[in-house]
Structure 1
Amino acid sequence: MTVISYAQLRTTDPGPWRDTATAWRAWAATAGRWAAELRAHAARLSTFWTGSAADAAAGRLAALIRRLNLFRLGCWAADQALSEFAASLARARSMLAGTPAGVSIAGNGTVSGQPAVAVRDTAATVQAAVTIAARADGAAASRLGELIAGGTATPPAIDPPSCAATPAEVRRWWAALSPAQQRWLLATDPGRLGSLDGLPAATRDAANRLTLDELPARLPGLDALRDRLAEGDAARAYLLRIDPAGEGQAVVALGDPDRAANVLTQVPGMTADLASYGEELTRAERIAARAAELAPETATSTVMWLGYDAPDFVHEAASRSQATAGADGLRRFQEGLRATHLGPPAHQTVLGHSYGSLVVGSAAAQPGLATDEVVFVGSPGVGVDSAAELQVPPGQVWSSTSRSDVIQWAAVAPRSLAADLALSQAVPGGALLAFARPENDLYFGTNPSDPAFGARVFASEPDAGHLGYFKPGSAALDALTAIAVGRGDVIPR
């Protein structure tokens, strides 16, 4: 492991490393524009030029495009390595802020003062911060060294996995390829690689960025997605899936989930699509930012998983079909996270909001969902009436519903609605008695925030409504973050 001193850590600004990563991203974008021009020229030539000479020219243009793609892959690999180093450095430096009163740290990292317990804790924090920086430095140097070694790209001799292959099988297939063969496949067939659960996040990110450049610019949401992927001031975004079919699907991770100690997957609800993905990504980003504040000693990646067709209308949201289909994809995605993670298994959390909680509940109702925690917020019901029906230990099932969340009135079970209607007509003032209180008998099962359900219920602001669970400074956001970083014990039962 690289040796890093306390003095080096205190004086090393992560900003230049972050700026360098952004510059590599910009070079990739420039090469992408060149490749797009070549594709356009090739398409025009094919409309009026045929024959052996035309075929030779088309082959040369295809080779140039492939070389540009290989260059872009190298740019993104450097960007990823430097971005992760800058993020780790920033976390390590944040741990050194706020030295307790009466305690001082010398330039060589020696801690002194009183009380003794504060000195001991501060010394441990300094050592942990230096260790984080040293490991990050070593990892970045190794990744950049592999990139410099480079080499040519060569076609693979191993058949690709079948569509029925598990993420673990996909991971073994990819690992069996040489770096040169991996580069060839990324440069020539990015569309297929980008959707494969079981490939490393860095690999899928590069493949999907190549694919994104070839999608029509008119698709709603793509410009905003491209802007976020180019952004250098926020957490580095990894594009783990892009599908323009229908209203579009996207899976975006903030921070590399393969290298993070904590990984939270957020599943959005009704009306979520590619055009509105930014709002959902902002919610995931708030958890990531709060995690860096509450638990800087460990890396946390949050994933906005819009990997299913979310319902757009009430009649669609009244059906389980889209949740059932989404649950299969979610289970496979989570399995892929386990298969590609580096080092000890990450602490994985799956969070479902609104109709997304039904997707999560449907996934958790079957054995083998790769997660340590399941969280529901603003839920219309999760498909079961008890936490005991989920294949997750009850102590790892969480829920919160704000008093002002309309879901408790809008997603009432038909039998409860019939009972309320009967009560409203049976006695004077019955409508007030029937409809002035929220229901726990919801459309897709017992409200998971009802104590009878058996989940661990955490607080949310009374005025949070249906969307305020991710509001900065809120109790709900702090609780979601504590769960994501494995500190659920700090939340009162």
Structure 2
Amino acid sequence: MDIKTLYDANINNITVAKNAYDALFTAFGQHIESWQHEVVDRLTNSHWTGTASGHAHTRIQFLGTELQAAKQELGLISKALSDAAEGIAAAQSHLVSALDEAKSNKMTVAPDGRITWDNDPNSANYAGDKADATAQAISKRITAALTEADHADQTISARLSHLSTNASNGTGLDAATAKSDQDAANALSQIPAAGTDPNSVKAWWNGLTDAQQQRMILTNHDKIGNLDGIPTVARHQANLINLQRGKEDLQRQLDGLGPEPVKTLATLNGQSVKNPAYDEWKRKHDALDDKMKGVRAIEERLGKPVDADHPPTFLLGFDTKGTGRAIVAVNNPDTADNVSTYVPGTGARVGGSLRSDIERSDLMVASANAANKKAGDPSTTSSITWVGYEAPQSIFPEAAWDGFAKAAENNLHNFETGLRATHEGKPSNNTILGHSFGTTTVGYTLRDKGLPVDNVILIASPGAGVEHASDLGVDPSRVFAAQGDKDAIKYALPEDPDNLASNLGNNVAGSFGYNDNPDHHVAFGRDPSVSQFGAQIIPTSPGTDHSGYWDQNSASLIAMGQAIAGKPIS
């Protein structure tokens, strides 16, 4: 598709053709009704019997089925033409808008897309000192419009070619074929259910025209934004709407609480009597306010001007149900060479530490970039903060129970599979990185579902549900683990009482030199940071506690970046 072809496209001709097929569809339906009344009904009421009658009735019934199939196929041609008009019109509108902007900025767009302008500050047609950046932005819009038109053209051409072939070779008269074609057409407007295989979701999305995709984003943003297999940019657009709607809903709920009640009702025997209404109001208020802080953290990161320290950010998931869901990507994972998903642990939610979790993704991208730069590698990196599950909100009793990790397995598996489905070009080098209880979530998913990742990083782990790195289904040489010298996670007691007794006995014996292979069990399996687990150890700086692994210039942050970038740990 070139600029002139799209600019000159006469959408009205497609609409006229569509209307003609509508008229043909209506007339054909009327002929079927007449045939039913004049032929089928009369024959049925004729009381004709015998062998010849049986053959005639069978043939007429079969012919009726063929006519209905043909009518169904005619209707699908009309729908395809309607989608074609809509898709090409949208692309044409985007092209015209870009060309108009070029004209308003005193620029000329050549038929091949090259943009020229006057650089003389003394000229009446001077395009300004920011002309180069403006021209680049306009060029991208033109390219996007042409790509959009190409996609619409190819998609509709394939549909019309299929229906035309059916009509010419007679397969369109088959009821099963017509039903299959109708189901395929219906599927274009039916959003796959949550949990659908992301590869199927991506195939469905690719079958939509650009105009249909945009309509889905605008009218079904709550489903599209959180559906694995939808490309990053589309999810981001949908989730910007979800974020605004969620913020408005939280504010309505806050306003609906009314003014703060009095804390105490009276004084009895010198003691204040608490007001139950205040306690209930405060509980609800604090929970809503915490989520609102999470919303503001996302808004602030999305709104930061793009620079070396703050790459572009994409919102891949958001809702406020339960403790909330937030998936934020630093850089586009669909186009990055290295893609890391960071799964935080206890306390992860929309609110809480979400701001610092997103900052950790920024730091890991910067660290990976530094590792690449040192190696002379131009590869790009995306780091995703994945709060896509109900994480435990307390160390005890919630984080002492592995049910939260088990409940997250399907969500994490689908998300990682979706990253593979939507990635463009050469497959990326993918890393899954968990912190604290997040490592348990990661480990359980790897163990029970498998994940399409190249590297696994377990930071401050209370156990990943396995005894050895090889049990995670990933090359053990690409499994990394770290535990700081001041991190209390090493004291996380085993959930299984049998492991507790065995662990204490073996470790005590090991400390006195009586056991060369102590169990080293923590809450959910063997400690990944011990040699018996078989992971590659990530170095940590002296004094590293449970949250210190991302401190600037720390040994652990440098090593995480190297692992994410696929470089040797130094």
Fold similarity call, TM over 0.5: yes
Q: Does 1:406 align with 2:509?
A: no
Matched with 2:4 is none
Q: Does 1:214 align with 2:245?
A: yes
Question: 1:225-261: CA deviations, max 9, x gaps?
Answer: 2222111142111000001001211000000000100
Matched with 2:208 is 177
Corresponding residue SS for 1:332: helix
Corresponding residue SS for 1:399: strand
Q: Is the 8 A contact 1:160 1:173 kept in 2?
A: no
Matched with 2:13 is none
Whole-Å Cα distance in 2 between the matches of residues 335 and 150 of structure 1? Answer: 26
Q: Does 1:289 align with 2:287?
A: no
- CA shift, 1:295, in A, is 1.5
Q: Does 1:450 align with 2:523?
A: no
Q: Is the 8 A contact 2:367 2:560 kept in 1?
A: no
- CA shift, 1:412, in A, is 4.7
In structure 2, do the counterparts of structure 1 residues 183 and 456 end up closer, same or farther at CA, with 3 Å as the change threshold?
A: same
Whole-Å Cα distance in 2 between the matches of residues 176 and 368 of structure 1? Answer: 28
Matches within 5 A, 1:360-371: 360-366=442-448, 368-371=450-453
Q: Is the 8 A contact 2:369 2:561 kept in 1?
A: no
Of 500, 521, 536, which residue of structure 2 is paired with 1:441?
A: 521
One-letter amino acid matched to 2:192: S
Structure 1: unaligned runs, 5 residues or longer: 1-69, 79-136, 427-431
Corresponding residue SS for 2:532: helix
Whole-Å Cα distance in 2 between the matches of residues 256 and 442 of structure 1? Answer: 36
**What is the TM-score of this pair, normalised by structure 1?**
0.65
Question: 1:261-290: CA deviations, max 9, x gaps?
Answer: 000000000011111211111111101122
Of 413, 420, 436, which residue of structure 2 is paired with 1:338?
A: 420
Matched with 2:393 is 312
Whole-Å Cα distance in 2 between the matches of residues 146 and 223 of structure 1? Answer: 31
- CA shift, 1:441, in A, is 1.6
Matched with 2:325 is 249
- CA shift, 1:416, in A, is 6.4
In structure 2, do the counterparts of structure 1 residues 302 and 417 end up closer, same or farther at CA, with 3 Å as the change threshold?
A: same
Matches within 5 A, 1:408-427: 408-412=490-494, 414-415=497-498, 418=501
One-letter amino acid matched to 2:357: E
Q: Does 1:484 align with 2:484?
A: no
Whole-Å Cα distance in 2 between the matches of residues 418 and 150 of structure 1? Answer: 64
Q: Does 1:299 align with 2:380?
A: yes
Q: Is the 8 A contact 1:268 1:355 kept in 2?
A: yes
Corresponding residue SS for 1:199: coil
Q: Does 1:273 align with 2:335?
A: no
Matched with 1:167 is 198
Whole-Å Cα distance in 1 between the matches of residues 468 and 536 of structure 2? Answer: 12
In structure 2, do the counterparts of structure 1 residues 388 and 291 end up closer, same or farther at CA, with 3 Å as the change threshold?
A: closer
Question: 1:126-178: CA deviations, max 9, x gaps?
Answer: xxxxxxxxxxx999945553248879x9xx96232432521000001111111
CA RMSD of aligned residues (A): 3.2
Whole-Å Cα distance in 2 between the matches of residues 144 and 439 of structure 1? Answer: 62
Of 215, 226, 234, which residue of structure 2 is paired with 1:195?
A: 226
Corresponding residue SS for 1:382: coil
Question: 1:348-390: CA deviations, max 9, x gaps?
Answer: 0000100000001011113541100011010000011111221
| Higher deviation after alignment, 264-273 or 364-373 | 364-373
- CA shift, 1:312, in A, is 1.2
Corresponding residue SS for 2:365: helix
Matched with 1:227 is 300
Matched with 2:466 is 384
One-letter amino acid matched to 1:344: K
Whole-Å Cα distance in 2 between the matches of residues 331 and 347 of structure 1? Answer: 17
Q: Is the 8 A contact 2:502 2:519 kept in 1?
A: no
**What is the TM-score of this pair, normalised by structure 2?**
0.56
Whole-Å Cα distance in 2 between the matches of residues 422 and 383 of structure 1? Answer: 20
Whole-Å Cα distance in 2 between the matches of residues 321 and 359 of structure 1? Answer: 9
Whole-Å Cα distance in 2 between the matches of residues 472 and 298 of structure 1? Answer: 22
Question: 1:2-30: CA deviations, max 9, x gaps?
Answer: xxxxxxxxxxxxxxxxxxxxxxxxxxxxx
Whole-Å Cα distance in 2 between the matches of residues 203 and 421 of structure 1? Answer: 52
Whole-Å Cα distance in 2 between the matches of residues 411 and 439 of structure 1? Answer: 13
| Higher deviation after alignment, 245-254 or 439-448 | 439-448
Question: 1:88-116: CA deviations, max 9, x gaps?
Answer: xxxxxxxxxxxxxxxxxxxxxxxxxxxxx
- CA shift, 1:213, in A, is 1.0
Question: 1:409-433: CA deviations, max 9, x gaps?
Answer: 134564565579899xx9xxxxx99
Matched with 2:539 is 459
Whole-Å Cα distance in 2 between the matches of residues 267 and 242 of structure 1? Answer: 15
Matched with 2:128 is none
In structure 2, do the counterparts of structure 1 residues 348 and 140 end up closer, same or farther at CA, with 3 Å as the change threshold?
A: farther
Q: Is the 8 A contact 1:366 1:391 kept in 2?
A: no
Whole-Å Cα distance in 2 between the matches of residues 161 and 482 of structure 1? Answer: 39
- CA shift, 1:182, in A, is 0.9
In structure 2, do the counterparts of structure 1 residues 421 and 363 end up closer, same or farther at CA, with 3 Å as the change threshold?
A: closer
One-letter amino acid matched to 1:305: W
Whole-Å Cα distance in 2 between the matches of residues 148 and 232 of structure 1? Answer: 28
Corresponding residue SS for 1:214: helix
Corresponding residue SS for 2:335: coil
In structure 2, do the counterparts of structure 1 residues 386 and 184 end up closer, same or farther at CA, with 3 Å as the change threshold?
A: same
Percentage of identical aligned residues: 34
